[in-house]
Amino acid sequence: MNTQDLLRDLIAFQTVSADSNRALIDYCADLLKTAGADVTIIEDGTGQKANLYATIGPKNLPGVLLSGHTDVVPVVGQNWTVPPFEMTTADGKLFGRGTTDMKGFVACAMSAALNASKRTLKTPLHLALSYDEEIGCIGVRSMIEMLTNAPFRPRLCIVGEPTLMAVATGHKGKSAYRVTCTGREAHSALAPTALNAIHLACDMISFIRDLQAEITCGSVQDDDYDVPYTTLHIGKIEGGLALNIVPNHTEFIFEIRNLSQDDPGALLAKISEHAEVLLQPLRADFPEASIEIELTNAYPSLDTSKDAEVVGFVKSLTGSNNTIKVAFGTEGGLFSSHLDIPTVICGPGSMSQGHKPDEFVAIDQLNKCDAMLDALLERLVIGI
């Protein structure tokens, strides 16, 4: 099967993160097992979702890992002009949910794995397919745990998120938090006798915005990024029951997307300290007053040195002379920080097409990815 045939099949599996990816994983596993690959399935607690880890070639040596996620974002509420879960070909482009983010690369990696099974490799090829990447790089963590205890880890990793086939050496880390503010309710006619939880939340949000302004003008910058500094963002706020009730409960969620040079824990400490400053003068009259900050999800940044072996190696496969950094997060930071596997990001398509209606990947981009992986197989045959 060629890459486009594989992509057509992969798109047909409706692997929105809220749903199962198991049928897609079983499809890939069957193809790989038939080709003689050593395949491990890592299920979640329900058995409805799973990671796949496969090895082609020698099983007692570190090899090259191709990493991709199998889940996609929803299509509900988007105005598609083509069927989102069928591949449509037009104007040199392949349309469908996940074509660029990132089933296009998964199809290329599967094609490379099937081709590798027909060769005698001196260095093994590994394939990692994960679930629930789109909701915070959650599913891959059980695969990370498996590899932590493995006798051999991959020598290097290529995460195939869309970069227009440029070699990306970094992305920011992300930490997501829920802030719960508790006050005291009262009739709005007696508002000064109560403690308005929305006001508490607004005071916290104002501090976070001031902190962002301080960071924006700070000395820690990385011009390889479109936004060259760490960002703080409030994404949702909920509170209040009716206009004539002073609210006693408000929640909001915010994130920190940090440069590798910035410590999100240090920023959180400043935010927590400000919460205490706000609460201290209120406690005598409102002992129930509180501001609780809960970490809900986090993944680390990726910051691979431009001089690292993996960077030069992948550049030699693509013919590229330059490197970039990407704005979006990937599982690459987990492979790098948790397993110490040198990692870069390089894949077909552009994230400017991701998460949108009529998502597409250019056929030329898939061809370039196939060429990179063909070059990789030649290197694995002679050994690296």
Judge contact between 70 and 138, C-beta under 8 A. no
Contact 108/161 with Cβ under 8 angstroms? no
**Phi and psi (nearest 5°) for 168?**
-105, 130
Sign of the CA dihedral 344, 348, 353, 357?
A: negative
Q: Would you say 3 and 366 are in contact if contact means Cβ atoms under 8 Å apart?
A: yes
Residues 130/51, Cβ–Cβ less than 8 Å: yes
Residue 369 near residue 105, CB atoms below 8 Å: yes
Q: How far is CA 28 from the centre of its chain?
A: 21
Handedness of CA 144, 149, 150, 155 (dihedral sign): positive
Do residues 59 and 38 lie in contact, with contact meaning Cβ atoms separated by under 8 Å? yes
**Taking Cα atoms as reference points, which of 74, 83, 57, 9 lies closest to residue 382?**
57
C-alpha distances in Å from residue 306, one per residue of 51, 258, 284, 315, 318:
30, 19, 56, 11, 15
DSSP string, 173-196: EEEEEEEEEE-B-EEGGGGGGSB-
Q: What is the DSSP letter of 270?
A: H
pTM of the predicted structure, to 2 decimals:
0.92
Domain ranges of the chain: 3-171+302-382, 173-299
Q: By the 8 A CB rule, do 302 and 330 touch?
A: yes
Return the H-helix or E-strand segment holding 205.
helix 197-216
The residue behind tokens 């397919």 is: 129
Non-local CB neighbours of 329 within 8 Å, separated by 6+ positions: 137, 171, 172, 173, 174, 257, 299
How far is residue 136 from each of residues 130, 273, 296, 331, measured CA to CA in Å? 12, 27, 10, 9
> Exposed, middle or buried, 369 (CB in 10 Å: 0-12/13-18/19+)?
buried
Question: Which single residue is written with the structure tokens 């990179």?
Answer: 372
pLDDT in tens, the chain (384 residues): 899 999 999 999 999 999 999 999 999 999 999 999 999 999 999 999 999 999 999 988 899 999 999 999 999 999 999 999 999 999 999 999 999 999 999 999 999 999 999 999 999 999 999 999 999 999 999 999 999 988 889 999 999 999 999 999 999 999 999 999 999 999 999 999 999 999 999 999 999 999 999 999 988 999 999 999 999 999 999 999 999 999 999 999 999 999 999 999 999 999 999 999 999 999 999 999 999 999 999 999 999 999 999 999 999 999 989 999 999 999 999 999 999 999 999 999 999 999 999 999 999 999 999 999 999 999 999 998
* Homologous superfamily assigned to 3-171+302-382: Zn peptidases (3.40.630.10)
Residue 306's pLDDT is: 95
Evaluate whether the domain defined by 173-299 bears CATH number 3.90.1150.10.
Answer: no
